[in-house]
Structure 1
Amino acid sequence: MKNKHPKGLMFLFFTEMWERFGYYLIIGIFVLYMIDPTSTGGLAFSDKYADDIFGTYIALTYLTPFLGGYLADRFLGYFKAIYLGGFLMGLGYIGLGFHDVTMFYISMALIIVGNGFFKPSISTLVGNLYSTDEYKANKDAGYNIFYMGINLGAFLCNIVAAFMRNQYGWGAAFTTAGIGMFLGLIIFFLGKKHLETANVMKPVQEGDISLSKILGMVFLPAMLCGAVGWIIPGDIFKSDSTDAFIFACIPVIIFYIRLYLKANTEDKRPLGALLAIFAVGMLFWAVFKQNGTALTRWANYYTDRQVTGKTEEALSKIYLVEEKDYQTKEVQKYDNQFQAEKDDNNNPIKIQGKDVYFTNVSVEQKQILESNPEQKVSLINTELFQSVNPGWIILLTPFVVGFFALLRRKGKEPSTPSKIVLGLFISSLSCLVMVVAVYFGSNGAVKVSPWWLVATYGVITVGELCLSPMGLSIVSKLSPPRLTALMMGGFFLSISIGNKLSGVLASMWYDYENKSNFFIVNALLLLFATGLGLLILKRLNAVMKEKGLN
Structure 2
Amino acid sequence: MWKSHPKALPYLFLSEMWERFGYYLMIGIFTLYLKDVEAGFAMTEKEASDLYGTFIALVFLTPFIGGLVADRYLGYKKSIVIGGIMMGAGYFMMGIHSLPMLYVAMTLVIVGNGFFKPNISTLLGNFYNEDQYKEKKDEGYNIFYMGINVGAFICNFFGAALQILLGWQYAFMAAGLGMFIGVIVFLLGTKHYGDKTDKKGIQEGDMPFSKIVLYILVPSVVFGVIGWLIKGVQSDVNLDSSIFGSDSTDAFIFACLPVVYFYGSLYFKAKPEEKRPIGALLSIFAVVILFWAVFKLNGSALTTWADRYTDREISGTTQAVFSNLKLAKDIEYKKDSTELYDASFRLQKENGKVVKEVNYPVYFRNVEKNKLPQEGSTVSIWATNLSQSINPGWVIILTPLVVAFFTFLRSRKKEPSTPTKIAFGLLISALSVLVMVAAVHIGNNGMEKVSVWWLVANYGIITIGELFLSPMGLSIVSKLSPKNITALMMGGWFLATSIGNKLSGVLASMWDTYDDKANFFWVNFGLLMFATVLMFALVKNLNKVMKDHGIN
TM-score interval, smaller chain: over 0.9
Q: How does 1:351-366 map to 2 (within 5 A)?
A: 351=348, 358-363=365-370, 365-366=371-372
| Residues 432 and 459, structure 2, Cα contact 8 Å, conserved in 1 | yes
Shift of residue 369 of structure 1?
1.7
Specify the alignment match of 1:495 in structure 2. 497
Q: Distance between the aligned counterparts of 2:497 and 2:207, measured in 1? A: 23
Specify the alignment match of 1:336 in structure 2. none
Amino acid at match of 2:426: L
| Residues 56 and 500, structure 1, Cα contact 8 Å, conserved in 2 | yes
Distance 1:118 1:349, change over 3 A: closer
Shift of residue 208 of structure 1?
1.3
Specify the alignment match of 2:352 in structure 1. none
> How many pairs align?
533
Shift of residue 117 of structure 1?
0.6
SS at match of 2:366: coil
| Residues 350 and 356, structure 1, Cα contact 8 Å, conserved in 2 | no
Q: Distance between the aligned counterparts of 1:66 and 1:369, measured in 2? A: 56
Deviation digits for residues 386-437 of structure 1, max 9, x if unmatched?
0000000000111111111111111111001100000000000111100000
Deviation digits for residues 270-320 of structure 1, max 9, x if unmatched?
111111111111110000000000100000111111112221111101110
Q: How does 1:270-419 map to 2 (within 5 A)?
A: 270-329=277-336, 331=337, 339-341=338-340, 350-351=347-348, 358-363=365-370, 365-366=371-372, 368-370=373-375, 373=376, 375-419=377-421
- Does 2:547 align with 1:545? yes
Q: Distance between the aligned counterparts of 1:347 and 1:24, measured in 2? A: 27
Counterpart selection for 1:119 from 117, 120, 145: 117
Specify the alignment match of 1:482 in structure 2. 484
Specify the alignment match of 1:92 in structure 2. 90
Q: Distance between the aligned counterparts of 1:70 and 1:235, measured in 2? A: 34
Distance 1:505 1:449, change over 3 A: same
Specify the alignment match of 2:506 in structure 1. 504
Q: Distance between the aligned counterparts of 2:321 and 2:2, measured in 1? A: 40
Deviation digits for residues 358-390 of structure 1, max 9, x if unmatched?
534353x43x522xx2x2221110000000000
Q: Distance between the aligned counterparts of 1:249 and 1:452, measured in 2? A: 36
Q: Distance between the aligned counterparts of 2:32 and 2:363, measured in 1? A: 17
Counterpart selection for 1:47 from 39, 45, 48: 45
Shift of residue 548 of structure 1?
2.1
Q: How does 1:232-251 map to 2 (within 5 A)?
A: 232-233=230-231, 234-251=241-258
| Residues 21 and 157, structure 1, Cα contact 8 Å, conserved in 2 | yes
Specify the alignment match of 2:21 in structure 1. 21
| Residues 341 and 349, structure 1, Cα contact 8 Å, conserved in 2 | no
Shift of residue 102 of structure 1?
1.2
Specify the alignment match of 2:126 in structure 1. 128
Q: Distance between the aligned counterparts of 1:462 and 1:263, measured in 2? A: 36
SS at match of 1:324: strand
| Residues 416 and 470, structure 1, Cα contact 8 Å, conserved in 2 | yes
Deviation digits for residues 106-137 of structure 1, max 9, x if unmatched?
00000001011111110100100111100011
Q: Which has the larger displacement, 310-319 or 417-426?
A: 310-319
Specify the alignment match of 2:10 in structure 1. 10
Shift of residue 502 of structure 1?
0.1
Amino acid at match of 1:190: L
Specify the alignment match of 1:536 in structure 2. 538
Counterpart selection for 1:142 from 121, 125, 140: 140
| Residues 167 and 319, structure 1, Cα contact 8 Å, conserved in 2 | yes
Shift of residue 217 of structure 1?
0.3
For structure 2, the 5+ residue unaligned runs are 232-240, 349-354
Specify the alignment match of 1:454 in structure 2. 456
Shift of residue 66 of structure 1?
1.2
Q: Distance between the aligned counterparts of 1:200 and 1:479, measured in 2? A: 23
- Does 2:524 align with 1:525? no
SS at match of 1:378: strand
Q: Distance between the aligned counterparts of 2:344 and 2:141, measured in 1? A: 52
Amino acid at match of 2:169: G
Q: Distance between the aligned counterparts of 2:329 and 2:505, measured in 1? A: 27
| Residues 92 and 172, structure 2, Cα contact 8 Å, conserved in 1 | yes
Distance 1:342 1:499, change over 3 A: closer
Q: How does 1:162-181 map to 2 (within 5 A)?
A: 162-181=160-179
- Does 2:425 align with 1:439? no
Distance 1:348 1:291, change over 3 A: closer
Amino acid at match of 2:273: E
Counterpart selection for 1:71 from 69, 72, 75: 69
Shift of residue 327 of structure 1?
2.5
Amino acid at match of 2:128: Y
Shift of residue 56 of structure 1?
0.3
Q: Distance between the aligned counterparts of 1:425 and 1:473, measured in 2? A: 20
Distance 1:433 1:74, change over 3 A: same
Q: Distance between the aligned counterparts of 2:408 and 2:46, measured in 1? A: 46
Shift of residue 198 of structure 1?
1.8
Give the % identical residues: 56
Distance 1:342 1:169, change over 3 A: closer
Shift of residue 356 of structure 1?
8.8
Q: Distance between the aligned counterparts of 2:86 and 2:367, measured in 1? A: 46
Q: Distance between the aligned counterparts of 1:309 and 1:369, measured in 2? A: 18
Shift of residue 203 of structure 1?
4.1
| Residues 129 and 197, structure 1, Cα contact 8 Å, conserved in 2 | no
Q: Distance between the aligned counterparts of 2:455 and 2:485, measured in 1? A: 41
Amino acid at match of 2:90: G
SS at match of 1:323: strand
SS at match of 1:138: helix
Q: Distance between the aligned counterparts of 2:148 and 2:417, measured in 1? A: 25
Specify the alignment match of 2:351 in structure 1. none
Q: Distance between the aligned counterparts of 1:236 and 1:291, measured in 2? A: 26
- Does 2:254 align with 1:255? no
Q: Distance between the aligned counterparts of 1:55 and 1:340, measured in 2? A: 31
Shift of residue 348 of structure 1?
7.9
The TM-score normalised by the length of structure 1 is 0.94
Distance 1:320 1:283, change over 3 A: same
Amino acid at match of 1:369: Q
| Residues 340 and 356, structure 1, Cα contact 8 Å, conserved in 2 | no
Amino acid at match of 2:12: L
The TM-score normalised by the length of structure 2 is 0.94
Shift of residue 357 of structure 1?
8.2
- Does 2:227 align with 1:229? yes
| Residues 154 and 390, structure 1, Cα contact 8 Å, conserved in 2 | yes
Specify the alignment match of 2:468 in structure 1. 466
SS at match of 2:200: coil
| Residues 357 and 445, structure 1, Cα contact 8 Å, conserved in 2 | no
